[in-house]
Structure 1
């Protein structure tokens, strides 16, 4: 396996996962409410979507990227509406620190939400295409499937490392919080999600009408 491509992929996975966005907000909230594992699984949903898009970009699969580009406005609209709904639900949710860590429904709901949030963001696959394209001679050569696989595995490893560290840190701080802290986090998270939704829908409106 190409170690250089693996390390490059890890760096890309960290860089694409770390910026604060809707999925980071969701993972932080899950870790605060339920502990390490639910927070990690929430991030894992985004990791799955990243894996699909990174694979498409690394192996030169154009069908997915063409579909995303052709239907970008519709995909962004769906993503923006979902964020509005989720933002309102988060803002209005009742904060109780003693939520069950083993609540399976809550855990897997986080994974599904984060996957949907990521897969409805056209910028993800376009971002991977741009990043991989910028690697130049360091990118896997055409037909180098093992190199492309190493790059994708690196991306997934880097993303997993980010979500694990984030969830571990937040779940550790969780022990110092009370229900008032959680209420503030819920309100802040809800507002942040609504702001992201507004920015997405504003971009859609700009693309459609201007």
Structure 2
């Protein structure tokens, strides 16, 4: 059984949604407050020196971090949740998975904590990060078709990102107006019965 270390409302919710989509048994360990000095952070640092969530631990003690890496691990174990080999949508799965973590995720690091990067232009950095994020979401909206999910009518592990991302900046009202397809997919994902515990814990 896996052990997932995370905190409600943080990116660990994405990996927890993935685990539930796969029907993988796991133990949830709440390390809320991990971003501040204290017991929770010390517990997390003992496993993940980067001090980040999600942190996934195997039964034998091996540790895997980064939501995209966890997605690929689970895709190997549950091939029904990734487009099949040879399907052009499989390349799109890889592309969008890497694109999300390389282009969207960093905007939260920059925009939510601008003081880590600059003392003189924190407000401008926050604004530019937000603008880049919104431009990215509009691009993704333009790429998806009319299926039920990101890659068509079959749910994939990639869809687990959306219920969490639409709760973060620029918030759900923005998505409803500017990227209605992304917002609608997020609603379909979080309505799935198997995900309700995670949805409730993270207030999705």
Q: Same fold (TM over 0.5)?
A: no
TM-score by length of 1: 0.28
Greater percentage in helix: 1
Structure with max Cα Rg = 1
TM-score by length of 2: 0.29
Greater percentage in strand: 2
